[in-house]
Amino acid sequence: MQITDLKCTVIGQNPVIRITTDEGIVGWGEAESPKSYLKPHVLFYRPFLLGEDPTNVERVMLKIRRLGSFKPWGSAVSAIEMALWDIAGKAAGLPVYKLLGGKVRDKVRVYNGAVRFPMSGQTPDHYAANMALMKTSPEKFSIIKQGIGFHSPMPVRLPDFTYGEVREAPFYPNRGLLTERSLKHVIACVEAMKSVLGDEVGLALDCGPGWTVPDAIRLAKALEPLNVMWLEDLITGDYTPYVMAQLYREVTRATSTPIHTGEQIYLRQNFADLIEKQAVRIIGPDPADIGGLAELKWVAEYADLHGILMAPHGIADGLIGLAALVQVCATLPNNYIAFEYPTGKPEWWYDIVDGLPKPIVVDSFITVWDRPGLGVEINPERARRYLPPGDEDFFD
């Protein structure tokens, strides 16, 4: 079997990859919705793939893996890897989880991720009300994650949030030492959320990036009595192109509150410091950023050897990304907690993707399906109307 073409388009907001072969098998991959600009970057890899056997996934990846980088530039490589596994599974007549070593679990736990209700303000009462709404979500999530601190509007909307200059820009650009009033406000908002969730639903907190080490320690220690699931991306994260494992290690060693990071990190080599230094208690690589499914599994297994837990990121990975997450998370060791649940946006995505169960999530779990490859297909006839101008031949 040989790869005959690599195409990329943007459907809705998500870049979608289609790899075709001389045997008529098609593989699908998808990148995160904020990355609609990725098409030229994806197509850069086309000459490296043409003529290769897509079922030799690792052999193909050795040609392109070194040419990616931290979020967002590892996304193209990651989406290509997803599509290669999709082809390999279809060619073998097996679900991808079988090719990754077989499933450890029949159902994978998810947390809310892209299922959110709008916040009407930034007071503790607003956060409590939002958690009350989240508890009513039909998926019955057993873990709910909420943004606070630098991963929220707080720096912009609350006067004197830090001692530094506040910048209004995308992807959480602020960093600085919090004022005492601001730190107390963040803690009060977390207390309000826990008062609603109690011990019925776990509360995870997306915190940054942007916290200084002293504030990160103060926050983590103050929240110890509340038993939150984790504090995510306190120091680095999101689009930060470095790790800073030594700073995370300082925070982790100072508190019993679990510290989490990893969504922006590309490749196993860049997780080595976090894992070997036990700088965090939980890592959260995204299969659409780390370099793909096999890369994520390798990191999960290495983390397990070091007593570190796994809660993969995935909020914007779309429905092809969701299928990929289900397949790989079925194979992870018992350090697996849950993955961040992506949804189809706009809603018509659910009309153009075949193979997803209805409902997808039941009592916070997705049952692992057994169809070949990733187990889902984009329906060309229904999807064609959503192709952007210039990409009318994407499905040809």
pLDDT digits over 55-71, tens only?
999 999 999 999 999 99
Residues 299 and 283 sit within 8 Å (Cβ to Cβ): yes
User: To the nearest whole percent, how much of the chain has pLDDT over 70?
Assistant: 100
Asked whether the predicted pLDDT for residue 171 surpasses 90, the reply is no
H, E, C per residue of 97-153: HHHCCCCCCCEEEEECCCCCCCCCCCCHHHHHHHHHHHHCCCCCCCEEEEECHHHCC
Mean pLDDT within 237-245: 96
Task: Report the chain's mean pLDDT, rounded to a whole number.
Answer: 97
Side chain identity, residue 256: S
Residues 208 and 233 sit within 8 Å (Cβ to Cβ): yes
Asked whether the predicted pLDDT for residue 31 surpasses 90, the reply is yes
> Helix %, strand %, coil % for the chain, to 5?
40, 15, 45
Give the DSSP H/E element, type plus range, for residue 196. Answer: helix 180-197
Mean pLDDT within 138-159: 97
Residue pointed to by tokens 């990651």: 78
Q: What is the pLDDT of residues 71-87, one digit of tens each?
A: 999 999 999 999 999 99
- At residue 170, the pLDDT reads 85
Cα→Cα distances 4→40, 220, 249, 371, Å = 18, 52, 47, 24
What confidence category does residue 192 fall into, taking pLDDT thresholds of 50, 70 and 90?
very high
Asked whether the predicted pLDDT for residue 168 surpasses 90, the reply is no
| The pair of three-digit structure tokens given for residue 196, joined into one six-digit string | 């609603």
What confidence category does residue 284 fall into, taking pLDDT thresholds of 50, 70 and 90?
very high
What phi and psi, each to the nearest 5 degrees, are found at residue 34? -70, 0
Q: Are strands 202-206 and 230-232 parallel, antiparallel or unpaired?
A: parallel
Mean pLDDT within 18-26: 98
Mean pLDDT within 207-233: 98
Residues 219 and 232 sit within 8 Å (Cβ to Cβ): no
- Quick check: pTM over 0.85? yes
Residues 47 and 99 sit within 8 Å (Cβ to Cβ): no
| Residues 41, 38: Cα–Cα separation, whole Å | 5
| The pair of three-digit structure tokens given for residue 32, joined into one six-digit string | 């995160």
Q: Are strands 26-30 and 339-340 parallel, antiparallel or unpaired?
A: unpaired
| Residues 237, 264: Cα–Cα separation, whole Å | 6
Mean pLDDT within 334-339: 98
- At residue 169, the pLDDT reads 83
Mean pLDDT within 355-383: 98
Mean pLDDT within 215-236: 98
Mean pLDDT within 327-345: 98
Mean pLDDT within 222-246: 97
Asked whether the predicted pLDDT for residue 194 surpasses 90, the reply is yes
Asked whether the predicted pLDDT for residue 167 surpasses 90, the reply is no
DSSP 55-68: T-HHHHHHHHGGG-
Q: For the chain, how many helices (H) and strands (E)?
A: 15, 14
Residues 327 and 293 sit within 8 Å (Cβ to Cβ): yes
- At residue 2, the pLDDT reads 98
Asked whether the predicted pLDDT for residue 4 surpasses 90, the reply is yes
Q: How many CB atoms lie within 10 A of CB 184?
A: 12
DSSP 373: B
CA atoms within 13 A on the CB side of 52: 24
Q: What is the pLDDT of residues 110-136, one digit of tens each?
A: 999 999 999 999 999 999 999 999 999
Instruction: Sheet with 259-261: list strands edge to edge.
Output: 143-147, 202-206, 230-232, 259-261, 282-283, 309-310
Domains along the sequence of the chain with CATH = 3-93+379-386 (3.30.390.10), 98-374 (3.20.20.120)
Residues 311 and 300 sit within 8 Å (Cβ to Cβ): no
What confidence category does residue 175 fall into, taking pLDDT thresholds of 50, 70 and 90?
very high
Task: With CA atoms as reference, report the closest residue to 26 among 60, 63, 1.
Answer: 1
DSSP 334-364: TTB--EEPP--SSTTHHHHEES--SSS-BTT
Q: What is the pLDDT of residues 39-53, one digit of tens each?
A: 999 999 999 999 999
| Residues 84, 229: Cα–Cα separation, whole Å | 34
